[in-house]
Amino acid sequence: QVQLMESGGGLVQPGGSLRLSCVVPGSIFIFRTWAWYRQAPGKQRELVAVISKSGSTNYTDAVKGRFTISRDNTKNTVYLQMYSLKPEDTGVYYCNSHPGYIYEWGKGTLVTVSA
């Protein structure tokens, strides 16, 4: 079983910053494209950012210029650095493989952006 372990969420004010981490134990990490998803209250889960095996990245328009996804293959970890956070960024953030095979979802990490 692959266990996805997200961390780093919390309560921040609008304009604040936060860095999320996702640790993926095991040897499969380097062979997969990884992504961050989020689910806002009352909304469908959406794809936020993607990073390929080679390091190429893609972002949803809502976060372009504010979020940066990265990966460290020596630590089996994918990161999401978030700047200039907005209230609409609030939600539970999840990591997972992308796009064809989805592992069992982890618990996610809650990001709340509010004054």
**pLDDT tens-digit series, residues 53-80:** 999 999 999 999 999 999 999 999 999 9
**pLDDT tens-digit series, residues 87-115:** 999 999 999 999 888 999 999 999 999 99
Task: Compute the distance between CA of residue 51 and CA of residue 59 in angstroms, rounded to an integer.
Answer: 9
Indicate the pairing of strand 109-113 with strand 10-12.
parallel
- Percent of the chain past pLDDT 90, that is, above it, reads 89
* Rg for the chain, CA atoms, rounded: 13
Residue 17 pLDDT grade (very low, low, confident, very high; cuts 50, 70, 90):
very high
